[in-house]
Amino acid sequence: MANRRARPNGLNVTIDGVEMSAVEGESVLDVARRAGAAIPTLCYLDGLSVHGGCRVCLVEVDGEHAPRLACSTPVTDEMEVRTATEAITEHRRIVVELLFAEGNHICAVCVSNGSCELQDLASEVGMDHVRFPYQYPDRAADASHPKYVFDPQRCILCTRCVRACAEIEGAHVWDVAARGADSYLVTELNLPWGEAPSCTWCGKCVTVCPTGALAFKGRAIGEMEHDTDLVGFLARARTEGEWEGRS
Amino acid sequence: MSAPQTSPPAAPGSPNGAGHPSGDERFALLDKTIRRARFAQDQLIELLHTAQDIFGHLSDDVLIYLARQLRLPPSRVYGVATFYQLFTFEARGSHSCTVCTGTACFVKGADDIVRTVSDTYAVPPGQTTDDGLLTLATARCVGSCGLAPVVVVDGVVHSHQSSESTLEAVRAVAEQAQAVEAEG
Amino acid sequence: MAKTIDLFQVADEELEARSRFTCRIKTCASTACLSAGAGPVRTALEQAVAAAHAGHDIEVVPTGCMGLCSKGPLVRAEPRGASPTLFEQVTAEGGRAIAETFTGQRSEPDVTVLDESIPFFTQQRRVVLKSAGKINPDRLEDYVAEGGYRAVLTALTEMTPQEVIEVIRDSGLRGRGGAGYPTATKLGLLADAQGETKYVVANGDEGDPGAYMDRTIMEDDPHRVLEGIILAAYATGASQAYIYVRAEYPSAIERLERAIRDARRHGLLGRNILDNSFRLDVAVRIGAGAFVCGEETALMASIEGKRGTPSIRPPYPTERGLWGAPTMINNVETLANLPEIIAGGADAFASVGTGSSKGTKVFALAGKLQHTGLIEVPMGITLRTIVYDIGGGIPNGRSFKAAQTGGPSGGCIPAAHLDTPVDYESLRALGSMMGSGGLIVMDDTVSMPEVAKFFMEFCMDESCGKCVPCRAGTVQLHELLGKICDGKATRADLQLLESLSWTVRDTSLCGLGQTAPNPVFSTLHYFRNEYLDLVAGGR
Amino acid sequence: MSAKPRFATVWLGGCSGCHMSFLDLDEWLLELAGRVDLVFGPLTDAKAFPPDVDITLVEGAVANEDNLELAHDLRANTKTVVSFGDCAVTGNVTSLRNLDGDTDRLLQRVYVDGPDRNGVLPSAEGIVPPLLPKVLPLHQVVPVDVYLPGCPPSAERIRAAVEQLLDGEPGDERAYGIRFG
């Protein structure tokens, strides 16, 4: 009768020393956020499938020899998680440095300057400079769409746009082409975006972009703000039938 | 990329829709394989292989056609085709020289061979000479490590190669071609 | 409707047919020997036999790999009632001479004989390659005559699936793809998984540069692979299997497809296998040039016709694999061990090897050695035996520097550790790994930072690009190694190389990225001075 | 003995915006002048970088051979080198030309093909320094001790960083924060 645990099938999870109750099926990220732990994320976005590519949400789990992804690791009973050890912090910093070095991220002239998740993350992980040589990839921007601009120099290949378009809008205009360091985003068969017949002009890809890679046309430096909550809201509305009315 | 998107072939009325509006017979051949694969989306890679065998390379037209037939988003087809190394999107040279750069060949000096051929014919690895004569390629491992270094010239495997012997083999096929051309 | 084969009758008939020939001349038709000119040799043999009207007495048999690839093309003459002779570096002219010797037209061919009592042959122990190089891989009857498919018969008629798994557990078999996961445990996971359809996948996407074990097994003895698959499927309740083969292996694909057709025709695949209620279909799926597809989640994506990018685990394939159904992926060599384990028993299998590593391992022996080729050795054999006895030592008066195992995921083992037994744990303790079986020997002319750079370039080119540390990290590691090799690096660069290596190892999504820094770690560990000599300030 | 710390600022390949932001410190500059000897910078007359400098703020990326020479000079003669602003720290806008790669083509495009030009390449031996093949952040050229990113760093952040250095506890970025752009 006197169940020690908070809920039936409840799990006890410790995040950075804070004891939390959790439910089976929750991810480490879910519970950590409730615990107030600031685990950074880039590719993860509420409402989209889990991608697991950016690696910045890695945390240490007791008994595991390598870090685990907070976004995709389900919590288990008596799990002990540390979200910001020295090793984790250094890994995150290196990952962010790698992102800055592989693209052409010039905050000073970016539409998203001031509201960019990558820019914020750099500050958060203490990246005061990039130790690796910049790669300066030659990537041309696509301004063929009447409403939006795609600048692949700022793209971190998080695939939020790909997933938002395929999973929420159902159009699958975007995908990733080539592989490795040569990977890039394409619309349809590598068409100029403005000529892609499957694009519905819904703009979800633009709203979910964490950087200035996707923006509304005509925005100047620092004028682009994203609405990353939108797809989570839409996904919930759809799965929980929020517009159907509930008794 | 040039923009060959003349409007893509009209969606066939049924998935069994016959051929390509251009009337290119090769599409009928491709269709046969698509039907044998029962239009299964998971057969995309096999069908890309087939299409490349038929057409020599994968043009946008062919990719669009496959996307329509399998009812896949074009971006997905493009993403898959460009992911795999064996698919090529441009016509190849009339002759090819593929240098194996597997570990055994590396240890025995394959990189020198690549450099020599590349310098001599002014063609970077993975590309075709401007005159379309020679495609220089590298292969990860052709699995004949006992014969390292290995070079494949126009499909013929040459074992225990040096830079000189490779050049000789390439010259043999290339000059033969030029001689034929000169006669013709 | 397939007509069920009577294995014993076919075997008897086959052996009877063979005994009618006074001499059987086997000519290696494997990729390596074909590359060295085995095609014209076979034609010459056949023409000479035909010219002498000796077709009833002499049979020319195209076989798989005879092993010593560096001496190819190889031809082996097996006269009835006399000892066989192995000929090396046979030309078309030599082939004719060999045939004419056995048709009685000349006394002795002018072809170099390869002594089969050299350690290259005697130190080997062939289980997986038992029939390779001896049979015509295109003939099901050849395999049956060697006792083939008896294990399936035994399993289906005398054993429960659980019993099959138990025998495999007792044998101690571990995965031959690299990591050495216990095979029976994996089988057990799939057997216990709930699902209407379950899949077994044979991983033949051998991509390590310098490795061709799986290709040889698939080309030379495709039915052994099929038999292994049938056993695994029976043990786990799977009804569909795929063999994923790289497109670079066209003859493996061709032979497997023929083997599948023949097996189906003889009631060894399809419904009611060998008249039992068990059913299984097998299909070949072809890759298209992506090393990462050897990783099991990437391989499954590729089978589904998608980009071969790995997925995060959990869920594991045995929980949610192909099309969401429980799936088990095994390396081709692992599966090819199963027939011998079921037919010969767990004890016989486990009598070979060491405490934790049972059985044999196939290696593609390459690099700076007298003898290179494909070998199968008992687990626990020392590297020294492989290098100096089987491989015949280092040619050109040079000395041994390092043996590289595990390909781009593995490491280099220096001379000081030549007496290490070859088993999963010992190699891992040295910072290398068993890997799938590439074993490349380097002499003292090779620069180890260059070797590390070579493997890093491979990983960089083969990175799928999904996760940041592998996609961007391998690029930076490669650049740092290049800077070091060019003599332009500082001590700070060396430090950065090490710390980035740790991050790529610990944070990459899949095995490719996680193991990509291994060649760096291992060469830094054993050959640090070579790095220091290249860096400003030196040692 | 208790001489004031020797302080320098350097302007490499940048827009001088970081110096402008520095000047935004207004009256604090008077305080600073009391605490340090300003021995080199765009505001002084010195031609050569002086010896024994304690703190040097370096604005701008390393873009040409003069920048390169000065970078080595200042490093050899400074105790604490501060990468001052995004151009020094990352290359920033100055490094945008790296995307094109080829300096000859770049000069051609800017001075010959571009509008409102007289169609000649600027050249004056010994006066116009040749461009480096690639623009580099300062730390890719010489070791850097403290990084103060920002385009430009705000006056407050500059002050916090400099005060920290003068107080002898260099390089704790928590005091002045990290912010690009």
3-state secondary structure string across C132-190: CCCCCCCCHHHHHHCCCCHHHHHHHHHCCHHHHHHHHHHHCCECCCCCCCEHHHHHHHH
Judge if A35 and A154 occupy the same domain.
Answer: no
Judge whether A79 lies within some domain: yes
CB–CB contact B45 C288 (8 Å): yes
The residue of chain A with its CA nearest to that of C289 is A179
Q: How long, in residues, is chain C?
A: 539
B71 pLDDT more than 90: yes
Touching partners of D (3+ C-beta pairs < 8 Å) = A
Q: Is-contact C372 B146, C-beta < 8 A?
A: yes
Structure tokens at C282: 């097998």
Residues A146, A151, A152, A157, Cα dihedral to 10°: -80
Judge if B146 and B176 occupy the same domain.
Answer: yes
Judge if C53 and C186 occupy the same domain.
Answer: no
d(CA C424, CA C416): 19
Structure tokens at C215: 């290709």
Judge if A127 and A188 occupy the same domain.
Answer: yes
End residue of a domain, out of C302, C330, C349: C349
Best residue in B33, B66, B83, B142 to probe C by mutation, most C CBs within 10 Å?
A: B83
**What would the mean pLDDT of C369-397 be, rounded to a whole number?**
95
Which residues in chain A have Cβ-Cβ distances shorter than 8 Å to D96? 104, 106
The pLDDT score that the predictor gives to residue A105 is 96
Judge whether B151 lies within some domain: yes
Judge if C60 and C78 occupy the same domain.
Answer: yes
Q: What single string gives the DSSP state of each residue in D90-152?
A: H-GGGGGGGGT--HHHHHIIIIIISTT--S-----TTTSPPEEEEEE-GGGTS--SEEE--SS
Q: Which residues of A sit within 8 Å Cβ distance of C?
A: 50-55, 58, 66-67, 69, 72-74, 87, 90-91, 94-95, 98-99, 101-102, 131-133, 135, 156-157, 176, 178-183
Judge whether A183 lies within some domain: yes
End residue of a domain, out of B83, B109, B127: B83
The pLDDT score that the predictor gives to residue D106 is 87
Judge if C397 and C336 occupy the same domain.
Answer: no
C224: Cβ–Cβ under 8 A, 6 or more apart, which residues? C128, C130, C131, C143, C148, C217, C336, C339
Helix (H) or strand (E) holding D7: strand D6-11
Q: Poorest-confidence range of B3-7, B87-91, C469-473? A: B3-7
Q: Is B124 left (phi over 0), alpha (psi -120 to 50) or beta?
A: beta
Q: Is-contact C64 C143, C-beta < 8 A?
A: no
End residue of a domain, out of C392, C424, C443: C443
Judge if C434 and C456 occupy the same domain.
Answer: no
Judge if B109 and B147 occupy the same domain.
Answer: yes
Judge if B62 and B110 occupy the same domain.
Answer: no
**For chain B, how many structural domains are there in total?**
2
pLDDT bracket for residue B12 (50, 70, 90): very low
Judge whether A244 lies within some domain: no
C11–B contact, CB cutoff 8 A: no
Which has the closest alpha carbon to B97: B140, B154, B15, B59? Answer: B154
Judge if C366 and C303 occupy the same domain.
Answer: no
d(CA A129, CA C452): 27
The pLDDT score that the predictor gives to residue C435 is 83
Write out pLDDT tens, residues D11-49: 999 999 999 999 999 999 999 999 999 999 998 888 899
C518–B contact, CB cutoff 8 A: no
d(CA B27, CA A226): 45
**For chain A, how many structural domains are there in total?**
2
The pLDDT score that the predictor gives to residue D101 is 75
Judge if C460 and C436 occupy the same domain.
Answer: no
B16 pLDDT more than 50: no
End residue of a domain, out of C304, C326, C349: C349
Judge if B157 and B100 occupy the same domain.
Answer: yes
Instruction: Give the domain extent around B126.
Output: 95-183
D93: Cβ–Cβ under 8 A, 6 or more apart, which residues? A106, A108, A109, D15, D86, D87, D151
| pLDDT averaged over every residue in chain C | 94
Judge if C212 and C198 occupy the same domain.
Answer: yes
Judge whether B78 lies within some domain: yes
d(CA C47, CA C40): 10
Q: Which residues of chain A have pLDDT under 70?
A: 1-8, 245-247
CB–CB contact A74 C503 (8 Å): no
Residues B71, B74, B76, B79, Cα dihedral to 10°: 150
Judge if B76 and B133 occupy the same domain.
Answer: no
Judge if C276 and C397 occupy the same domain.
Answer: no
**What would the mean pLDDT of B70-92 be, rounded to a whole number?**
95
Judge if C215 and C335 occupy the same domain.
Answer: yes
Domains assigned to chain D:
6-95+134-166 (3.40.50.700)
3-state secondary structure at position C419 = coil
Instruction: Give the domain extent around A170.
Output: 111-239
Contact exists between B and D (3 or more beta carbon pairs < 8 Å): no
CATH number, domain of A155, equals 3.30.70.20
3-state secondary structure at position C378 = strand
Judge if A53 and A132 occupy the same domain.
Answer: no
Tell me the CB-side half-sphere exposure of residue D122, using CA atoms within 13 A.
12
pLDDT bracket for residue C440 (50, 70, 90): very high
Judge whether A101 lies within some domain: no
The residue of chain D with its CA nearest to that of A110 is D181
Say how many C-beta atoms besides its own lie within 10 A of residue D9's C-beta.
21
Judge if C186 and C326 occupy the same domain.
Answer: yes
**What would the mean pLDDT of C457-484 be, rounded to a whole number?**
97
Judge if A74 and A137 occupy the same domain.
Answer: no
CB–CB contact B73 A179 (8 Å): no
A140–B contact, CB cutoff 8 A: no
The pLDDT score that the predictor gives to residue C258 is 97
Judge whether B128 lies within some domain: yes
**What would the mean pLDDT of C505-511 be, rounded to a whole number?**
96
Instruction: Tell me the shortest Cα–Cα distance from D67 to chain A, in angstroms.
Output: 19
d(CA C200, CA D71): 63
Judge if C101 and C248 occupy the same domain.
Answer: no
Q: Is-contact C153 C159, C-beta < 8 A?
A: no
Instruction: Tell me the shortest Cα–Cα distance from C462 to chain A, in angstroms.
Output: 7
Which residues in chain A have Cβ-Cβ distances shorter than 8 Å to C500? 94, 132
Judge if B102 and B79 occupy the same domain.
Answer: no
Instruction: Tell me the shortest Cα–Cα distance from A88 to chain D, in angstroms.
Output: 19
The pLDDT score that the predictor gives to residue A5 is 47
Expressed in angstroms, the distance from the first to the final Cα of chain C is: 74
Which residues in chain A have Cβ-Cβ distances shorter than 8 Å to C463? 179-181
Judge whether C26 lies within some domain: yes
Which residues in chain A have Cβ-Cβ distances shorter than 8 Å to C475? 102, 135, 181
Q: Is-contact A59 A31, C-beta < 8 A?
A: no
D108 versus C362: the higher-pLDDT residue is C362
Judge whether A91 lies within some domain: no
End residue of a domain, out of B55, B83, B111: B83
A118–D contact, CB cutoff 8 A: no
3-state secondary structure at position B35 = helix
The pLDDT score that the predictor gives to residue D169 is 78
Closest Cβ opposite residue D173 in set A126, A133, A134:
A126
The pLDDT score that the predictor gives to residue D2 is 56
CATH number, domain of B130, equals 3.40.30.10
Q: Is-contact B49 C246, C-beta < 8 A?
A: no
B127 versus C523: the higher-pLDDT residue is C523
d(CA C397, CA C375): 24
Judge if A30 and A68 occupy the same domain.
Answer: yes
Judge whether A3 lies within some domain: no
- Sign (positive or negative) of CA dihedral C136, C138, C144, C150: positive
A109–D contact, CB cutoff 8 A: yes
Q: What single string gives the DSSP state of each residue in C482-495?
A: HHHHTT---HHHHH
Instruction: Give the domain extent around C69.
Output: 21-116
For C64-83, letters b (16+ CB in 10 Å) and e give bbbbbbbbbbbbbbbbeeee
pLDDT bracket for residue B91 (50, 70, 90): confident
d(CA C151, CA C268): 12
Q: Is-contact C190 C233, C-beta < 8 A?
A: no
CB–CB contact A188 B82 (8 Å): no
Q: Which residues of chain D have pLDDT under 50?
A: 1
Judge if A78 and A190 occupy the same domain.
Answer: no
CATH number, domain of C428, equals 3.10.20.600
**For chain C, how many structural domains are there in total?**
4
Task: Report the share of chain C in percent with pLDDT over 90.
Answer: 88
pLDDT bracket for residue C414 (50, 70, 90): very high
Angle between helix axes C491-507 and C518-526 (nearest 10 degrees) is: 140
B81: Cβ–Cβ under 8 A, 6 or more apart, which residues? B48, B58, B63, B87, B89
The pLDDT score that the predictor gives to residue B180 is 66
Instruction: Tell me the shortest Cα–Cα distance from D105 to chain A, in angstroms.
Output: 15
CATH number, domain of C283, equals 3.40.50.11540
Judge if C320 and C464 occupy the same domain.
Answer: no
Touching partners of B (3+ C-beta pairs < 8 Å) = A, C
Q: Is A86 left (phi over 0), alpha (psi -120 to 50) or beta?
A: alpha
